[in-house]
Amino acid sequence: MEILNYTEEHRIFRDAFRKFLAKEVIPFVDEWEKAGIVSRDVWRKMGEQGYLAMDVPEEYGGLGADFLYSVIVTEELARTRHFGLVAPLHSDVVVPYITAFGSEEIKHQYLPGCVSGEIVTAIAMTEPGTGSDLASIRTTAVEDGDEVVINGQKTFISNGIICDLCVVAAKDPAAPDAHSAIDLYVVEADTPGFVKGKKIEKVGWHSQDTAELFFEDCRVPAANRLGQKGAGFMMLMQKLQQERLVCAIGAQAAAEYVLEMTIDYCKSRTAFGRPISKFQHNRFKIVDMATEIKLGRTFLDKLIADHLEGKSLPVECSMAKAWITEMANRVADGCVQLHGGYGYCEEYPVARYWRDLRVMTIFAGTNEIMRGIAAQFMGL
């Protein structure tokens, strides 16, 4: 029995999106990987076809679609042999902060562009000295009349170069405690004092632009704050569930695709007069990886179903993010081994997945943080 209730409309959507990727994304992946950034045009094309921020209500230019459409987009993007086009970050992590917590003025001002692809978003939480410890951020936001002056530095910001709009976590130094000090502000990229640093050179995710961001007496309207003053930390905690779930979805889909490619390779590659899939060790290895993948899929689909029902899942999503991303790394490593020397060559997609999946155990909260969250809720 299937856990998720995909409708015929969902299936039609998946088929259409897969065709879009085959035409507008996959042929350009190697070019983007060399350039270190994806084309701006592909964001607009995604928006034109209705593939961005699909859950945004119709009154703000969106489709008002359910989360299963986002699941489809994340899964299909994971099969494009790169992770540079991080539409799920934009659609399912950053934009929901604006949809859920923005004023009517902010929503009408920015959401239509987020849907159309004219506005690409980023979220700036991580700082050089804080990592996953959000309560210890140092970037400040000091009120000055109708404006807020932001000063500080962020790092490892995905879409940091290409973004037009950034949700920035900053704290009021006059607040009584660390948690109530944090606020989220929407900052346009061309705001004076908002400076984008150079693109960070990474081991993987070569076509995904990651950057340092600097805020030097950056003045934004106080009305650009999301939600009530001092509620930033709680808003972050509320939305991190979906961020970690999206991370697990991408890792799960990538693991499935890597094993699929590897099985095809093992059936066609011969050694000692027979396909290498016929050697007992290789067969058992493939079966073990397939078993882990099926376990991950069952757990993940149940979480997606619960998330669709609006359930709070801090422990389960933390567990899923940690276990599935590590499982995907185990699968990629095993698949490289089965490819032999070819698995270490750039011309074989398994090599790219092997290096790109590694970071998934680090971002969206390290897996050590995930285990800490789960342990805390378990009373350990």
Mention every residue, 6+ apart, whose C-beta is less than 8 A from residue 368.
none
Show the low-confidence residues of the chain (pLDDT under 50).
none
* Domains 122-227 and 234-377 belong to one CATH topology: no
- CA pair distance 47, 43, nearest whole angstrom: 6
Structure tokens at 7: 């409708």
pLDDT of residue 1: 63
- Domain at 8-119, CATH homologous superfamily: Acyl-CoA dehydrogenase/oxidase, N-terminal domain (1.10.540.10)
pLDDT at 40: 95
Q: List the Cα angle 265/300/357 in 5-degree steps.
A: 50
For residue 121, what are the β-bridge partners? 165
Q: Are 21 and 194 in contact (CB under 8 A)?
A: no
pLDDT at residue 304, as a whole number: 98
Can you identify the CATH homologous superfamily of domain 234-377?
Butyryl-CoA Dehydrogenase, subunit A, domain 3 (1.20.140.10)
Identify the pLDDT of residue 13. Answer: 98
Active site residues: 243
Residue type at 88? P
Global pTM value: 0.95
Give the domain ranges of the chain. Answer: 8-119, 122-227, 234-377
Measuring CA to CA, which residue among 236, 213, 191, 215 is closest to residue 141? 215
CA distances from 124 to 145, 163, 165, 209, 340 (A): 24, 11, 10, 14, 40
To the question of domain 122-227 being in CATH 1.10.357.10, the answer is no
pLDDT of residue 226: 97
Segment 231-260, tens digit of pLDDT: 999 998 889 999 999 999 999 999 999 999
